Structure 1
Amino acid sequence: MKRKLSILLTAIFAVLIYIIIQSGVQFIYTFVIYFQNISHDTELSGAALKAIFSMKQKKELLSLVAIILTSIIFYYKYYKDNTIRKIANITLKKCGIKQIIHMIITGISVTVLLYMIMLFLLEQGMVPNEEINLMEMSQSNLILAVITVGVIVPIFEELLFRGLVYGSFKHIFNPWLAITIQGAIFAFIHKSGVQCVYTFLLGIIVALYYHWNKNMIYCFVIHIIFNIFGTYILPYFFWSKDKIIFFTVTASILFIVSLLWQRKLIDVTQ
């Protein structure tokens, strides 16, 4: 019981470190910009708005800084600890062409389905209409945004949530409960409303594929496709009713194909 509690607290503490550093970096940047503006702008509210706007414009850069700082701490606190490494048991395996195709089909179908679900929920007013895109992004530096939001953030979050958090929880709970809890925590660190809904579903789906394949590469590929496709492609479509039906049906078929393919992969490994 004591060991399980220690594992649980280790995983939760890792998530808290990430939240604190990310929030701290944004706060410090906003604080510095605010005092730079206050000397030129006598209106306090005006300086505050400029600082917040500047922080949002630099969100990708600040996220990158937060991830670098968090990774340094994780390396010295967690990775060098052999006990924690054995608990998390992050597995990276070589993938063949068929597996890569399977990952791509899964990533695209999951992204489209979740996007269609979000469009439906937003249209029905079932979640706050805080953002239409799957991810909130700044257009100030597209290349930096794609690299950070599209690649670095997904890899880091998969190592943290599916690697350390889920890897720890499966030693405490049964796999399905561990998958659900880590999905809820993954959703919690994101914004409320629509983003909270789709990150919860994404967290569960990616964890399931990691559970089935025991390969973190699956998590990386699915999450990267989700962020890039869902951020820089789908939001810029003109969504008519016919297009929504077509994409939903097509994505559903592809997802079923992915699940059947996954079942075949499990049968082969067994």
Structure 2
Amino acid sequence: MHDKMKLKISMAFLWVAIYFVVMMIYTFFDIAIWRKITLKYSNCLNIVFIIACVIAFIILLCNRTGYKVKIFKNVTIINILLAVGCSVLFYFLLDKCFDPIFESLYPASEQAYENTIQSLLKTPITSLLQVCIIAPVIEEILMRGFVLGGLKDSYGNGIALLISAVLFAVLHFNMVQTISAFICGIILGILFLKTDSILSCIIAHIGYNLISFAMMIMPYIKR
């Protein structure tokens, strides 16, 4: 594929499904293998394995589709400032506004989300790497660079934006995160369409996750 990469909806669904399987694989290895081999170093083994899985997925994606990852395309000060602004917007819009509403509507999902938070807090360093660095990078390469970038050349900006946001939301496992992820996917998609920069989306995604992570663990650090 060239810079004008045309992508069918079915192929977008397929590659997101493949990435979902990759997520299931490294989650299975974490629970069923690494924790049983050595509980002390299981988190380190898991991070290394996740990085290996993500790199393998990107290589497979590029080799099979011809997609070229151009992370450093259109890197400008304005685009970076827009990305930082989106990070702050996400925190106040989602964490402070919409998430409390969604949590009250879906208490079961809220409990599952709280359990996940408690699990992450047990291993803050590796959790930081996974949630705030690895996940944003691969998700923006896949969802904005590949899916949105390819679909917009085939179906136009509107349909591409909607589908990419829906697929991004599906990757998040409970109702609270799914609804928030859809909103996040729409805004990140608009940022990508505005800047034509994967790096801007990565910065926005990392920034938001870092702010949320810091706000989440701060009460525990003060204790």
User: Do these two structures clear the TM 0.5 threshold for a shared fold by scoring above it?
Assistant: yes
Aligned pair count reads 209
Q: 1:178 aligns with which of 150, 154, 160?
A: 160
Q: How far apart in 2 are the matches of 1:126 and 1:30?
A: 27
Give TM-score, length-normalised by structure 2. Answer: 0.77
Deviations 1:119-151 (A, max 9, x none): 13324x356423566x74512332222222111
Q: How does 1:1-270 map to 2 (within 5 A)?
A: 7-32=8-33, 62=46, 65-75=49-59, 77-80=60-63, 84-85=66-67, 92-96=73-77, 98-115=78-95, 116-123=97-104, 125-126=105-106, 128-131=109-112, 136=117, 138-233=120-215, 236=218
- Percent identical pairs in the alignment equals 19
The unaligned stretches of length 5 or more in structure 2 are none
Residues 19 and 57 of structure 2 are in contact (CA less than 8 Å); yes or no, is this contact kept in structure 1? no
Distance 1:32 1:126, change over 3 A: closer
The unaligned stretches of length 5 or more in structure 1 are 38-53, 238-270
Q: In structure 1, the residue corresponding to 2:67 is in which secondary structure?
A: helix
Once the 2 structures are TM-superposed, how far is the Cα of residue 89 of structure 1 from its aligned partner? 7.1
Q: How far apart in 1 are the matches of 2:171 and 2:179?
A: 12
Distance 1:9 1:126, change over 3 A: closer
The answer to which structure has the higher helix fraction is 2
Once the 2 structures are TM-superposed, how far is the Cα of residue 63 of structure 1 from its aligned partner? 6.0
Q: Which has the higher contact order (CA 8 A, sep 6+)?
A: 2
Task: Flag as ranges the 4+ runs of structure 1 deviating above 6 A.
Answer: 88-91
Once the 2 structures are TM-superposed, how far is the Cα of residue 104 of structure 1 from its aligned partner? 1.4
Q: In structure 2, the residue corresponding to 1:130 is in which secondary structure?
A: helix
Residues 187 and 199 of structure 1 are in contact (CA less than 8 Å); yes or no, is this contact kept in structure 2? yes
Residues 13 and 167 of structure 2 are in contact (CA less than 8 Å); yes or no, is this contact kept in structure 1? no
Give TM-score, length-normalised by structure 1. Answer: 0.65
Q: How far apart in 2 are the matches of 1:32 and 1:90?
A: 33
Residues 91 and 216 of structure 1 are in contact (CA less than 8 Å); yes or no, is this contact kept in structure 2? yes
Residues 154 and 223 of structure 1 are in contact (CA less than 8 Å); yes or no, is this contact kept in structure 2? yes
Residues 104 and 225 of structure 1 are in contact (CA less than 8 Å); yes or no, is this contact kept in structure 2? yes
Q: In structure 2, the residue corresponding to 1:224 is in which secondary structure?
A: helix
